[in-house]
Chain A
Amino acid sequence: MSSVRSFEAGDVDAVADLFQRLLRKSAQPPSDDLKTYLRTLFIDFPAAEPDLRSRVHVRADGSVSGFLGVLPVEMEFEGRRLKAANCGTFACDDRDGDPFAGARLLRDVLSGPQDLSFTETSNDVSTDMWRTTRATVLGPYSLEWLRVIRPSAFALEAAAGRLSALRLLSPMTRPIDALFCRRGEKQSWSHYAPLAGKADAFVIDAVSDTEFAHLCRQFVRHFPLRPAWETPMLETMLGHATRKALHGERIQHAVKTRSGKAIGLYLYYGDPGGIGRTVQIMAEPGQEAIVIDCLIRNAHARGLVGIRGRTQPALLQAMIGKKCAFLHTSSTIVHSRNPALLEALTSGRAFLNGLAGEGWTRLIGDRFG
């Protein structure tokens, strides 16, 4: 009889194989680097709790056919500490073996002792499964914002995601994009040129993990439902986020007044000529628009052709007028039996996604050697 049980060190090889085949869509065998990382993240992680573990689905013959990765997150709501399960990595083998493996894994995890379960990376199939468990899809947290900076180079780079040889054409895009930006128009959704504005009064400052962690704790306190981050935990997470080889160079900045007071921060990855990926934007309430301006200016100055990231309700408001496009690639979904928590989540008073999600792990955006 098949069963669901906690993920153990002996399962790492099988889970790495599932991850490689089903999530990375690769025919290459999983590397030792990936195996080590899965163990580091899902077994040895400092926040690990014995009653909140990742789960595997095991066939009758003992082989592993499914995995649901759980990262315990300590959260805080109106002064009370909560346990949350961040359930991001979800992979089940083909339906020939046991077509109900995914359903059993999800039900098993959601019936755990946590106050709240969530994912920010749910694809359409997983979303349907979560919905049947009476989970709630959070629309304002489930959109990707996208700011096009150089339109023709952006289009080429987007296409090169499928056919990398197209990048050879990139020199041809420069005069076209230069023409766009010389037209003297105001900001347009199709291209970006830095204009004078409030952001001129602020400076950006590359900051250490320690300072960044300190600022994250400062800015997250405005959310009634939020991660109860301690600085060492955040530093550990930022250590994981050091490298995302598939996304480009890491840029970790604080936005400060000229007198040195921080009003916000951002963390993104991107190389000149590429499309940047933002993991986190945070700000003092009301300052989000300035921080977003500073982020887009920095991406433009570094030669990126576009930049994208995940929305949160406060950021959505601030992006009005920034000529961003919005699209959906994966969903943020929450499950809780506590109506007060659900109300905080559906009304946009919770801090989710990015560092309060999976965005900081190497599983998103890094290459495993």
Chain B
Amino acid sequence: MSDETKAAIRTFIVENFLFGDNSHPLPADLSLIDNDLVDSTGILELVGFLEERFGVQVADADIVPANLDTIERIAGFITRKQAA
């Protein structure tokens, strides 16, 4: 998975869930759920972003923490989707 993908995801999260606060460390393995950064509403925004930015189709069954809970998992999920 590319650093560029992770950077784009990170930027989206900072802008939309941290309201532009770049001071948050936001490591790639930080759980977005456990840290209350994303909920059911936020996840729909994130999915919309992933579909538009990376040109992938996210199925309802894909919307699970295993795919979307950390920047690392999201980037891995995008890589798998693009390779499929």
Interface residues of A (CB under 8 A from B): 1-4, 92, 95, 98-104, 106-108, 111, 125, 128-129, 132-133
Q: Are A99 and B43 in contact (CB under 8 A)?
A: yes
- Which B residues are in CB contact (< 8 Å) with A1? 61, 64
B33-62 contacts to A, CB under 8 A, are 33, 38-41, 43-45, 47-48, 60-61
Contact B60 A99 (CB under 8 A): no
CB neighbours (8 Å) of A92 from chain B are: 40
Q: Are A100 and B48 in contact (CB under 8 A)?
A: no
A4/B60 in contact, CB under 8 A = yes
CA distance A106 to B60 in the complex (A): 9
Q: Judge if B65 is at the interface, Cβ distance under 8 Å.
A: yes
User: A4, A98, A103: which has the most chain B beta carbons within 10 Å?
Assistant: A103
A129 touches B60 (CB 8 A): no
Are the CB atoms of B64 and A2 closer together than 8 Å?
yes
Q: Does B1 contact A (CB under 8 A)?
A: no
How far is it, in angstroms, between the C-alpha of A133 and the C-alpha of B60 when the chains are bound?
Answer: 13
Known A107-B44, A129-B41, A132-B44: A100·B63 in contact at CB below 8 Å: yes
Cβ of B68 within 8 Å of any chain A Cβ, yes or no, is yes
Q: Which residues of B contact A102 (CB under 8 A)?
A: 40
CA distance A2 to B60 in the complex (A): 11
Q: How far is the CA of A225 from the CA of B43 in the complex (A)?
A: 33
Closest to A95 in B: B39
Q: Which residues of A contact B33 (CB under 8 A)?
A: 95, 99
Q: Does A125 contact B43, Cβ atoms closer than 8 Å?
A: no
**Beta-carbon nearest neighbor of A92 in chain B:** B40
Known: A95-B33, A101-B40, A107-B44. 7 other contacts (CB 8 A): A1-B64, A4-B60, A100-B68, A103-B43, A104-B61, A104-B63, A129-B44
Count chain B residues whose beta carbon lies closer than 8 angstroms to a beta carbon of A. 16
Can you sample 8 A-B contacts with CB below 8 Å?
A99-B33, A99-B38, A101-B40, A103-B47, A104-B61, A104-B63, A125-B40, A129-B40
Partner of B60, one of A111, A125, A128: A111
Do residues B63 and A103 form an inter-chain contact, with CB atoms below 8 A?
yes
Chain A residues lying within 8 Å of B40, measured Cβ to Cβ, are: 92, 95, 99-103, 125, 129
Cα–Cα, bound, A92→B43 (Å): 15
User: Which B residues form the contact surface with A (CB < 8 A)?
Assistant: 33, 38-41, 43-45, 47-48, 60-61, 63-65, 68
Q: How far is the CB of B57 from chain A (nearest CB, A)?
A: 11
Residues of A within 8 A of B65 (CB): 98-100
Inter-subunit contact A103/B41 (CB<8 Å): yes
B39, closest chain A residue (CB): A99
> B60–A104 contact, CB under 8 A?
yes
B58 to chain A, nearest CB (A): 9
Q: Would you call A133 and B64 a contact (CB within 8 A)?
A: no
| Cα separation A108 to B40 with both chains bound (whole Å) | 13
**A106 cross-chain contacts in B, Cβ below 8 A:** 44
Complex alpha-carbon distance, A3 and B64, angstroms? 9
Name the residue on B nearest A128 (C-beta).
Answer: B41
Q: Is the CB of A125 within 8 A of B41?
A: yes
B48 to chain A, nearest CB (A): 6
Q: Within 8 Å CB of A101, what residues of B?
A: 40
Q: How far is the CA of A26 from the CA of B49 in the complex (A)?
A: 38
CA distance A129 to B64 in the complex (A): 16
| CA–CA, A104 and B67, complex, Å | 13
Separation of A322 and B45 alpha carbons in the complex (Å): 41
Q: Which 7 A-B pairs have the closest CB atoms?
A: A102-B40, A132-B44, A103-B40, A128-B41, A103-B43, A108-B60, A103-B44
Asked whether, in the complex, the Cβ of B64 is within 8 Å of the Cβ of A98, the reply is yes
Which of chain A's residues have a CB closer than 8 A to the CB of B47? Answer: 103, 107
A103 cross-chain contacts in B, Cβ below 8 A: 40-41, 43-44, 47, 63
In contact, A132 and B41 (Cβ under 8 angstroms):
yes
